[in-house]
Structure 1
């Protein structure tokens, strides 16, 4: 009988160990499946974040390029406008000199030109869509009016009567 009890206990022990092994195997599989699922989700999120970051970088690069191109175009327009105004002022000064034969007025015109250029360069750079070339021209002419009000206008010296 002891032998039967011993075999029975051994058999129960084997059954218990077998159940324990099966349970461990099931838990290991569940754990491995959970890890695989978490890893797959993490990789998917990483891909999504990488794509989002790439898209944002591309959009930012494009926006920066557009703003830079627009600023360069506006700078070119402003530079051309200032050059035209300077050329026009030089022509007027030369015409005055040619007409009067005196060079006194050209110094005032030079001051006027340099004042206008300095005032335009002191203005803030691109401020948005409202800062159109017409606004720049208007600003230049307002500077012109300010300069004319500050500086006395040129008056030619009275001509002396010719001795006949």
Structure 2
């Protein structure tokens, strides 16, 4: 029998427990920057390096409140020229109710960013368009896969750091 809350199965199956609920109390841009150092005509299809990071912190007020931030960064280069750099930190304030400890982390690192992503994606598209480039339309993100990869890295790191320690 497997634990229903493992990263391999981040959405627990019903076991007679009360279903956890989540409320979105607010969404906001925490930080946004756009730099256009490579002005001029683009001769070739640019290379886009995209970075995605998710973080969650408990809110000072408690009561099941958490701030979840989704950080997106994009760097477009053509040959040796940096065309643009775009960084966005988009956050939301969430309240989790009736969630047990094993459900909180997957909700914060999978479900919350899944709700924030379409808004952050639109902001990135608009800011790149307003910067004089075609809108950068980021493909949908599989936050379950990101969570599992993050969990795997943390497990491996813990295993390396914790060997022989009490």
Same fold (TM over 0.5): no
**TM-score range, shorter-chain basis?**
under 0.3
Greater Cα radius of gyration, structure 1 or 2: 1
More helix, by proportion? 1
Higher relative contact order (CA 8 A, sep 6+): 2
TM-score, normalised relative to structure 1: 0.24
TM-score (norm 2): 0.24
